[in-house]
């Protein structure tokens, strides 16, 4: 450990802080799909009926100074289709010197989004407390969505043999078996 020279009237404050983050891809994707549906139903955006929408890419708005973890997390989240929770954590030590009759207030940036929490490496020091408006910042996330077509209004038919399948059933596009329970004992 390095020896420090302390000047009379100064306080050297050393502290350790953690940076961490986590995201759950399905929570993010479900929230995006729900918000897209709300916008479509309100008439705010024009969309194709009978289609759901899911995120293809997401980026934090330009001008928001952020760590690469947040953009990496957003890009990873849009690519994951299965339930996946990713968590990371690092620790860092920092040191500040405060002079006589002064004080130092330290803020660490936190990023919250649907299924996402990040304690960022961005720290801010001030001599006076920040107001609520200064402490909270709305961050816009630019999303690119793609339509996900699905079939609605169908009846599920059960049977024990292939001959039990209805004649007007939906056929596999590539000519494969159209029995979705094939080799899973039917019902």
Burial class (CB in 10 A: 0-12, 13-18, 19+), 163: exposed
Q: 10 pLDDT exceeds 80?
A: no
Which pairs with CB-CB distance under 8 Å and at least 24 residues apart come from 144-147? 144/55, 144/56, 144/57, 144/58, 145/32, 145/36, 145/53, 145/54, 145/55, 145/56, 146/53, 146/54, 146/56, 147/47, 147/48, 147/51, 147/52, 147/53
Which pairs with CB-CB distance under 8 Å and at least 24 residues apart come from 106-110? 106/15, 107/135, 108/17, 109/66
Share of the chain above pLDDT 90, in %: 0
- Mean of the per-residue pLDDT values for the chain? 75
Name the more confident of 137 and 1.
Answer: 137
pTM over 0.75: no
Predicted confidence at residue 58, as pLDDT, reads 80
pLDDT tens digits for range 56-90: 778 776 666 666 667 777 777 777 667 778 887 88
Predicted confidence at residue 35, as pLDDT, reads 79
8 A C-beta contact, residue 93 and residue 12: no
Predicted confidence at residue 87, as pLDDT, reads 84
Share of the chain above pLDDT 70, in %: 76
Place of tokens 């968590």: 87
What is the average per-residue pLDDT within 158-162? 74
What is the average per-residue pLDDT within 96-120? 79
Q: How many CB atoms lie within 10 A of CB 147?
A: 13
Q: 43 pLDDT exceeds 80?
A: no
Q: How confident is residue 187, by pLDDT bands cut at 50, 70 and 90?
A: low
DSSP reduced 3-state for 144: strand
Report which listed range, 63-77, 92-106, 143-157, is most confident: 92-106
Q: How confident is residue 1, by pLDDT bands cut at 50, 70 and 90?
A: very low
Burial class (CB in 10 A: 0-12, 13-18, 19+), 117: middle
Could you tell me where the beta strands, DSSP code E, fall in the chain?
A: 11-24, 51-60, 85-98, 105-113, 116-126, 141-149
Q: 30 pLDDT exceeds 70?
A: yes
């Amino acid at each position: 450990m390095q020896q420090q020279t302390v000047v009379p009237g100064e306080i050297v404050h050393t502290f350790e802080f953690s940076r961490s983050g986590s995201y759950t891809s399905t929570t993010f994707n479900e929230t995006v799909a729900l918000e897209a549906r709300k916008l479509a139903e309100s008439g705010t955006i024009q969309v194709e009926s009978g289609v759901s929408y899911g995120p293809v890419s997401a980026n934090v708005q330009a001008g928001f100074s952020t760590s690469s973890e947040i953009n990496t997390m957003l890009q990873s989240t849009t690519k994951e289709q299965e339930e996946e929770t990713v968590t990371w954590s690092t620790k860092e030590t920092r040191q500040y010197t405060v002079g006589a009759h002064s004080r130092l207030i330290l803020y660490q940036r936190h990023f919250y989004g649907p299924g996402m929490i990040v304690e960022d490496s961005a720290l801010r020091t001030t001599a006076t407390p920040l107001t609520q408006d200064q402490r909270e910042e709305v961050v816009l996330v630019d999303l690119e969505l793609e339509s996900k077509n699905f079939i609605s209004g169908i009846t599920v038919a059960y049977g024990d043999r292939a001959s039990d399948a209805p004649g007007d059933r939906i056929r596999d596009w590539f000519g494969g078996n159209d029995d979705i329970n094939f080799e899973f004992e039917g019902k």
